[in-house]
Amino acid sequence: MTIISSHAQAVPLNPLSSSDNWQQILKEAVRDPAELCDLLNLPQHADSARRAAEIFRVFVPRGFLKKIQPGDPQDPLLRQVLPLEAELQSPPGFSDDPVGDQPSTLLPGLLQKYKGRVLMVTTGACAVHCRYCFRRHYPYDESPPSPDVWQRALDQIAEDTSIQEVLLSGGDPLTVRDKLLAELAEKLSQISHLHRLRIHTRLPIVIPERVTDSLLDWLCASRLTPIFVVHANHPRELDAEVLAALERLVEAGIPVLNQAVLLRGVNDRATTLIELSEKLIDARILPYYLHQLDRVSGAAHFEVPVAHGQQLVREVRERVPGYAVPRYVQEQSGQLSKLPLG
């Protein structure tokens, strides 16, 4: 603990540029597996973390680290960010593109799987590298945040009047500066057949400072109905600072939903899922999806068998109001929607 808090003191927030603090926090994120193990008092994991990080590198904002119990390799927040030896194994059935992103690519940075909505890979960058991520092998370098690439996507969206909703995803769209995002939202709002703008982001969870006034300004100024889908897997991710950031979105009138991934060793107990749902609902956030893990190489050790997931969701349903039960779904390439699992 002392190591982490003394570091936090070494990086004081700059009150003069509070709206840009999040960019500084992003710059200072831990990228070195040895430092991660050192800060969390897990020296015995440093060597395997270094090897596994060669395939998908480490990236953890320091505020997220403060929520992790040092010295506990089983901490559910740690497991989401610490590279493990197990990532070097890829059993049969696990692949680099498990959800069929490549065949759904309309243009670089634009995917369509479902009717009426398209997904823009706004940027390849994320504010945290989640070890289970289905895009851990995605060719992000071909999709940096680029207004030129966006323009081609905008032209395509403008031509297809069946599209009502644009999802900004990634990577994480909120790693992009508000000025660029505001310009993008403005261009999207000029496409008359669009109704909604959905933001899929983990930023408010890992860097709550990202919910800035300028973010709320452009979201609320848009003609398009904004919808936020955040991503928290464990109730401990929702500490007071994160809840305060989420409350600012809710207070601005923006619907906020949460999606989680069912992860072995993180949230594969009914009590954890119930606590997550209750905490979300109390914060006026609706649990939206609980995703079955996408079978991406390197993430096999996170998989929970579907039958066990179904049992967990039954237990959740028996304990919380219907509106607090997330839809348990699986991504399947070539289907017209995500597949409900029960």
Ligand X SMILES: *Cc1c(COP(=O)(O)O)cnc(C)c1O
Binding site for ligand X (CB under 6 A): 104, 111, 113-114, 117, 119, 167, 337-338
Query: Residue 340: how many CB atoms within 10 A of its CB?
Result: 9
Q: 133 contacts which partner out of ligand SF4, ligand X, none, CB within 5 to 8 A by kind?
A: ligand SF4
Q: Which residue number, 83 or 98, has a Cβ lying nearer to ligand X?
A: 98
Q: Which residue number, 22 or 132, has a Cβ lying nearer to ligand X?
A: 132
Instruction: Report residue 156: phi and psi, to 5°.
Output: -65, -45
Given the structure tokens 């069912």, which residue do they identify?
262
Q: Are 54 and 85 in contact (CB under 8 A)?
A: no
Rounded to a whole number of angstroms, the minimum distance from the CB of residue 136 to ligand SF4 is 7
Q: Which residue number, 173 or 226, has a Cβ lying nearer to ligand SF4?
A: 173
Q: 114 contacts which partner out of ligand SF4, ligand X, none, CB within 5 to 8 A by kind?
A: ligand X
Rounded to a whole number of angstroms, the minimum distance from the CB of residue 129 to ligand SF4 is 5
Cβ density class 127-155: b for 16+ within 10 Å, e for less? bbbbbbbbbbbbebeebebeeebbeebbe
Q: 199 contacts which partner out of ligand X, ligand SF4, none, CB within 5 to 8 A by kind?
A: none
Q: Which residues contact 40 (CB under 8 A, 6 or more apart)?
A: 65, 68, 70, 71, 78, 82
Q: 113 contacts which partner out of ligand SF4, ligand X, none, CB within 5 to 8 A by kind?
A: ligand X
Residue numbers at the binding site for ligand SF4 (CB under 6 A): 126, 128-130, 133, 135, 170, 172, 202, 231
Element (H, E) at 260: strand 256-261
Q: 128 contacts which partner out of ligand X, ligand SF4, none, CB within 5 to 8 A by kind?
A: ligand SF4
Q: Which residues contact 10 (CB under 8 A, 6 or more apart)?
A: none
